Amino acid sequence: MSKAMLIINPSSGKELGKKYAEFAEGTLAQRFATVDVRFTEKELDATEFARTASHEHYDAVVAMGGDGTVNEVITGIAEQDHRPTLGIVPLGTVNDLARALHIPTDARDAISVLEDAPIRPFDIGKYGSHYFMNVIAVGLIADAVEEVSVEQKTSLGSVAYFIEGLKAFKDHSPYPLILRAKEKTFDGETPLLIVSLTNSVGGFESFAKDARVDDGLLHVFLVKQLGFFDALQALPKLLTGDLSNADQIEYFTTTEVEIESDETLSINADGDTADELPITVRVLPQHLNVIAPTS
């Protein structure tokens, strides 16, 4: 008797969660014998619902909401003895994980995918007791995200982060960082560090163009100390994955990296301000399965 839990954030995507709830339930009913629909009301509801689905051996959990909702659902099923297959109906502004998995960003199209798309594995990341699905950032991106308003996100999408990123280059000094990985160490100043799991960061789908959702790797980008006009050249290369002639950017892959600083610095995890340094980031390779097209 197969069963799925549909977790809906009713406030996401201009309340598209409410609009498409019935259609999503009906679509899942074509694949699963039982569909349990739950609406979130407050922060961490999605995590609790997903954890219940793990403990009660649901076959699938479908997150219908923005990146925050998806992150909460992943947190609820990660490292559980039984991990239901994940489904995603993206209703957020950027929807990086959905983009990396080739899941349509149109809600109705994404729901239709759930009926018969294959199941495939993907990596997630972990730092401390927390999980992330896409990116850890330290430095100007973390600062820039704090400055992006809801109105900017709605009207400009990923371009808003680019604009605020340039402002951060201009207005902030570099940050002292220490990195330790098997492949590389660094002790110096940098305006930006990014640790990515996928090719899509901030809506730029060619960011880490060699990254695959199931490659078992962290893709680390370290921007060297730059002036503002150097940043004008470096940022577009970083965001489009064109690093062939980008002397200002160091790139390497690893499975675990320690990050610390002499200053008090916050990290940004999947678009939200999270813990302060120091942290150890590691990949959990092919840890979860997802309903998603192969291309």
In whole angstroms, what is the distance from residue 221 CA to residue 204 CA? 15
Q: What is the DSSP string of 43-98?
A: TTHHHHHHHHHHHTT-SEEEEEESHHHHHHHHHHHTT-SS-PEEEEEE-SSS-HHH
Q: Token digits for 74?
A: 């992943």
Is 272 a residue of the active site? yes
Q: Token digits for 245?
A: 């002639």
| Candidate list 45, 171, 272, 275, residue with the active-site label | 272
In whole angstroms, what is the distance from residue 96 CA to residue 66 CA? 10
User: How long a stretch of residues is the chain?
Assistant: 295
User: ∠ CA(93), CA(134), CA(259), 5° rounding?
Assistant: 125
Give the catalytic positions in this structure.
272
